[in-house]
Amino acid sequence: MMDDNESGISRRQALVGGAGLAAASACLPAAAAKASEHASASADALSVSPPDLDFLRTDALMDADRLRFLMREAGLDALIVTQPANVFYLTNHWPQLDRMGFDGSGIAILCADPARPLTVVMHAFLYYYTHTPESEFSDREIFTYTNPIGAPEVEGEEPPSAEARVMEVADGGTLTSLDRHRLLMFGRTQPPSADATWAMRKALHSLGVWQGRVGIDHLGLEAGLRARGFEGDITSQGQDIVRTARLTKSPTEIRMMRLASERNVAAAITAARSARELGSARALRSAFFGEAGRRGNAGVFMVIAGTSTEALDREFTDGMSVSIDCVSTCRFYHGDFGRTIFIGEPPRTVQRAASAVSTAWSEIREQLRPGMRFSEIPRIGRATLDRLGVDLNVSFRPHSVGLFHTDQPATSLLTPAAPPDLVLQENMTLSVDCPVFLAGLGGTIHLEDLMLIRDGRAEAIHDVPPPVITV
């Protein structure tokens, strides 16, 4: 007979000592049995249709006061960004060509001086065709560019630029409201420059920061500025400053996070309810992506039974415990949600482990509050497992969620450094990953909800289904 250690399950785990856990485990099947009913009600309550995002044409995502405060702390006169997520945060526009494989198709400039306008540098036709339909903002300065034609009259000066191009008008009497809006917004732009670098030069001169200290988020910006004789200091702090600003969400961002998360959860639950009929990991992932799409979200990834690759498939059989970690976006804002699917009745060790993780996550949720450090959160989860007498490897890893699954400073693996021990703040949205990293347990387990720190405590930003879905 194989002993406990050979099976990969410790004696403490197999026996699951502790009266508290025994009671919780006894309740788990009954709670899980209600999951399908609860999930059905949750999914049906949310209209299966894309959300109305028209408010993004008028309501800024950026918390300009917070971002300017961080800029002043860093000694910056201006922030120049071209990474698409950062441009989107500042302007509500995700540059279209960046979604098609190009680089630097939009540039946004914010000055520390609030009297200076938010400034956008963009190709003239791209601004006219892709940006104006989703913007009614009139408080921005738009510096456009086209391309150089011929040589400059004086060496080192800007060459002449091509005329800005817009759609020709066949009949002015039949213009649509969108046609008229495009022309109205485009009529407010500055005359085109010969290229993006000349447009940046003009913008920085206009803003009075040509000799100032600027933060950038892309090395290409520095090359372009230096090529045009920029006379100030350049620092690469821009990326971390914007990501730090995004740790706490503006009211518009919180609205977006709710939309993204509600639809992500509904798609995940709807797909999970069909896991038995779908019969495999590949079919379940496809169902989740499809359900997300029906609700206006775009699937990003789905981890099923510990793997996120679409190249690997796995058949579902009776008695399996299958963890899911579901991520999709609504207009680039991320939903992140994890649960466990019981296909029939898995081994008792798995049921007990799932119950323990559920108890630990409940205790973490109750203690999340402003001022708590990220490093404190895993300790709460581990202390709960210790009290329950359960030997499980669970990360209990927190991460800020927003325009990325992990939307926080210092995320690059190219410059290894200890991650910052972030502090929970009002209006932060975060997740705490609770996967069980234990091979040979008899199944996989995960639990994850998206939380909003508000009014001195944490609240789920979406409806909270039971921890286990039994099919």
Any idea where the domains of the chain sit in the sequence?
11-52+249-470, 64-245
pLDDT single digits (tens) 328-380: 999 999 999 999 999 999 999 999 999 999 999 999 999 999 999 999 999 99
Residue 284 CA, chain-centre distance (Å), reads 22
Is the pLDDT score of 14 beyond 60?
no
Q: What is the DSSP string of 347-358?
A: -HHHHHHHHHHH
DSSP letter at 322 equals E
Is the pLDDT score of 394 beyond 80?
yes
Burial profile 383-415: b = 16 or more Cβ within 10 angstroms, e = fewer: ebbeebbbbbebebebbbbbbbbebbbeeeeee
Query: pLDDT band at 153, cuts 50/70/90?
Result: confident
Q: What is the mean pLDDT of residues 392-406?
A: 97
Q: What is the DSSP string of 229-279?
A: T--SEEETTHHHHHHHHTTB--HHHHHHHHHHHHHHHHHHHHHHHTHHHH-
Looking at residue 151, what is its pLDDT?
Answer: 85
Query: pLDDT band at 238, cuts 50/70/90?
Result: very high
Is the pLDDT score of 208 beyond 90?
yes
Q: What is the mean pLDDT of residues 127-145?
A: 97
* CATH class of this structure's domain 64-245: alpha beta
Looking at residue 414, what is its pLDDT?
Answer: 77
Query: pLDDT band at 48, cuts 50/70/90?
Result: confident
Q: For the chain, first and last CA: distance in Å?
A: 32
Looking at residue 411, what is its pLDDT?
Answer: 66
Query: pLDDT band at 21, cuts 50/70/90?
Result: very low
Looking at residue 413, what is its pLDDT?
Answer: 73
Q: What is the mean pLDDT of residues 59-78?
A: 98
Which residues are bridge partners to 133 per DSSP? Answer: none
Q: What is the mean pLDDT of the chain?
A: 90
Looking at residue 410, what is its pLDDT?
Answer: 77
Residue 373 DSSP SS3: strand
Looking at residue 420, what is its pLDDT?
Answer: 84
Distance (Å, rounded) from C-alpha 135 to C-alpha 81?
19
Angle at 253 between CA 295 and CA 337, to 5 degrees: 50
Distance (Å, rounded) from C-alpha 376 to C-alpha 265?
27
Residue type, 454: R
**Under CATH, which number does the domain 11-52+249-470 receive?**
3.90.230.10
Residue found under tokens 């009529």: 187
Q: What is the mean pLDDT of residues 142-160?
A: 90
Contact present, 447 and 413 (Cβ < 8 Å): no
Nearest-CA neighbor of 113 among 70, 78, 73, 63?
78
Residue 312 CA, chain-centre distance (Å), reads 25
Q: What is the DSSP string of 96-118?
A: GGGGGT-S--EEEEEESSTTSPE
Long-range CB contacts for residues 97-106, cutoff 8 Å, separation at least 24: 97/126, 103/220, 104/196, 104/218, 104/220, 104/221, 106/82, 106/131
Q: Return all residues near 143 (Cβ < 8 A) that are at least 6 apart.
A: 119, 120, 121, 122, 189, 190, 193, 199, 200, 202, 203, 206
Distance (Å, rounded) from C-alpha 70 to C-alpha 182?
34
Q: What is the DSSP string of 17-69?
A: --HHHHHHHHHHHHHHHTHHHHHHHHHHHS-SS----GGGGTS--S-HHHHHH
Angle at 225 between CA 224 and CA 229, to 5 degrees: 120
Which tokens is 414 given? 């190219």
% of the chain surpassing 70 pLDDT: 89
Distance (Å, rounded) from C-alpha 358 to C-alpha 375?
20
Contact present, 370 and 456 (Cβ < 8 Å): yes
Q: What is the mean pLDDT of residues 21-43?
A: 44
Distance (Å, rounded) from C-alpha 433 to C-alpha 445?
11
pLDDT single digits (tens) 180-199: 999 999 999 999 999 999 99
Residue found under tokens 């300009």: 64
Phi-psi region of 425 (alpha: psi -120 to 50; beta: other; left: phi over 0): beta
pLDDT single digits (tens) 274-329: 999 999 999 999 999 999 999 999 999 999 999 999 999 999 999 999 999 999 99
Is the pLDDT score of 37 beyond 60?
no
Q: What is the mean pLDDT of residues 69-84?
A: 98
Is the pLDDT score of 16 beyond 90?
no
Query: Cβ-count burial of 19 within 10 angstroms (0-12 exposed, 13-18 middle, 19+ buried)?
Result: exposed
Is the pLDDT score of 3 beyond 70?
no
This prediction's pTM: 0.90
Stretch among 54-68, 118-132, 399-413 having the lowest mean pLDDT = 399-413
